Amino acid sequence: MAREGLMYTDSDEWVQKKDNNILRVGITDHAQSELGDIVYVDLPEIGEEYDKGDDVNEIESVKAVAEVKAPVSGKIVAINDQLEDDPALLNEEPFDNGWIFEIEMTDPDQLENLMDLEEYESKLEE
């Protein structure tokens, strides 16, 4: 269901630490399977800033809308525009080609609030 080496949020985003305080963000396999066939991703704009917990963008399936939240505070530095043409990537490869955006964090301490794999899996079991 989830993957080793990533960090997780309460709202089912995964977070991968890259260089220079940059984090890559996507939604978990669990999140995509709850949503069902994803048909549209409304991507954020590069350069926009968000506080931790803000709604960054929307993901739509046939009959549901989900918000992707900022796992930390920071500025969007990259988006996965492949999702515009092929939103199904979120269903098919949520941890790989289905990543959504990269954010440059302003406060690395916020990482401490994220869950590791074990914590996330036990949350899912609840």
Partner 1 sequence: MTELIFELTSPGRKAYTLPDCDVDVDYDDKIKDFIDEEPVNLPEVSEQDLMRHYVELSTLNFHVDKGMYPLGSCTMKYNPKINEDIARLDGFSDIHPYSADEDIQGLLEMLFDFEKDLKILTGMDKFTFQPAAGAHGELTGIKIFRKYFDNKGEDRDKIIVPDSAHGTNPATASMGGFEVITIKSNDKGCVDLDALRDAMDETVAGLYLTNPNTLGIFEEDILEIAKIVHDEGGLLYYDGANLNATMGISRPGDMGFDIVHLNLHKTFSAPHGGGGPGSGPIGVKDFLTQYLPVPVVKKDDNGNKYKLDYSLENTIGKIHGFFGNVGVVVKAYAYTKLLGLKGLKKVSEMACLNANYLKDNLKKDYYLKFNRLCKHEFVLSGKNQKAENSVKTLDIAKRMLDFGVHPPTVYFPQIVDEALMIEPTETESKQSLDNFIRIMKKIASEAKNNPETVKKAPHTTPVKRLNEAKAMRNPDLKYENE
Partner 2 sequence: MAYYPHTSEEIEEMLSSLGYESIEELFEDIPKEARFNDESLLNEGTSELEVSKLMKELSEKNKTVDDYICFMGGGAYDRYIPSTVDHVISRPEFYTAYTPYQPEVSQGTLQHIYEYQTMICRLTGMDVANASMYDGASALAEAVIMAMNVSRKNKIVVPKSLNPYWLRVVKTYLLGSDAEFVMVEEKNGEIDYCDLEDKIDDDVAAVLTQYPNSFGIVENLKEIKDKFTSKKTMFVVMADPIALGLLKKPGDLGADIVVGEGQQLGIPLSFGGPYLGYFAFRKKYVRKSPGRIIGKTEDKEGKRGFVMTYQTREQHIRREKATSNICTNQGLMTVAASVYMSTLGKQGLREVAEQSYKKAHYLFNELTRIDGIKKAYPDKPFFDEFVIEVNTDLNKLKYKMKKEGYLPGIILKHQYPEKDNQLLIAVTEKRTKEEMDSFVSKIKTILKG
List interacting residues with partner 2 (CB under 8 A): 40, 60-65
Nearer to partner 1, 35 or 79 (CB): 35
Pairwise CA distance, residues 82 & 86, whole Å: 6
| 3-class DSSP state of 91 | helix
Hunting for tokens 């991968």 — which residue is that?
16
Sequence letter at residue 63: K
Of residues 28 through 67, those in contact with partner 1 by CB under 8 A are 36-37, 39-40, 60-63
Question: Out of partner 2, partner 1, none, which partner does residue 65 contact, by CB within 5 to 8 A per kind?
Answer: partner 2
Question: Out of partner 1, partner 2, none, which partner does residue 88 contact, by CB within 5 to 8 A per kind?
Answer: partner 1
User: Applying CB under 8 A, does 93 fall inside the site for partner 1?
Assistant: no
Which residues lie closer than 8 Å to 2 by C-beta, 6 or more apart? 8, 14, 28, 29, 30, 117, 120, 121, 124
Per CB under 8 A, residues contacting partner 1 are 36-37, 39-40, 60-63, 87-88
